[in-house]
Amino acid sequence: MTTKSKLLKLFEENRGVYLSGGEIAQDLCISRTAVWKAVKALQSDGYFIDAARNKGYCLSTQTDILSEQGIKKYLAPELSKSDIFVYQSISSTNTVLREKANSGAPEGCLVLANEQSSGKGRMGRSFYSPVGSGIYMSLLLRPKNCSGNDAVKITTLAAVAVCEAIESVSGEKAQIKWVNDVFVKGKKVCGILTEGSFSLENGALDYAVLGVGINLYPPADGFPRDISNTAGSVFGNVVSDAKNRMVAAFLKSFYSYKNSSSPTGYAQKYKERSLVIGKRVTLVSANAAREALVTDIDNDCRLIVQYDDGSVGCCSSGEIRVRL
Residue numbers at the binding site for ligand BTN (CB under 6 A): 92-94, 116, 119-122, 125, 127, 136-138, 181, 191-193, 211-213
Q: Which is nearer to ligand BTN, 59 or 162 (CB)?
A: 162
* In the complex, least distance from residue 266 CB atom to ligand BTN, rounded to whole angstroms: 19
Sign for the pseudo-dihedral over CA of 34, 40, 41, 47: positive
With residue 270 as reference, give the H or E element that holds it.
helix 265-272
DSSP state string for 33-83: HHHHHHHHHHHHTT--EEEETTTEEEE-TT-----HHHHHTTS-TTTTTS-
Q: Which is nearer to ligand BTN, 47 or 253 (CB)?
A: 253
Q: Which is nearer to ligand BTN, 9 or 243 (CB)?
A: 243
**Of 227, 139, 138, 143, which Cα lies nearest the Cα of 189?**
227
Interatomic CA distance for residues 176 and 194, integer angstroms:
16
Select the residue whose beta carbon is closest to ligand BTN and give its number: 191
Rg (CA), the chain: 22
Report residue 238: phi and psi, to 5°. -60, 135
* In the complex, least distance from residue 119 CB atom to ligand BTN, rounded to whole angstroms: 4
* C-alpha 86: how far from chain center: 13
* In the complex, least distance from residue 258 CB atom to ligand BTN, rounded to whole angstroms: 18
Q: Which is nearer to ligand BTN, 24 or 155 (CB)?
A: 155
* In the complex, least distance from residue 188 CB atom to ligand BTN, rounded to whole angstroms: 7
* In the complex, least distance from residue 194 CB atom to ligand BTN, rounded to whole angstroms: 9
Q: Which is nearer to ligand BTN, 157 or 192 (CB)?
A: 192
Interatomic CA distance for residues 210 and 227, integer angstroms:
23
End-to-end CA distance of the chain: 49
- Is the peptide bond preceding residue 284 cis, with omega within 30 degrees of 0? no
Q: Which is nearer to ligand BTN, 35 or 160 (CB)?
A: 160
Quick count: other Cβ atoms within 10 Å of Cβ 68?
20
* In the complex, least distance from residue 70 CB atom to ligand BTN, rounded to whole angstroms: 18
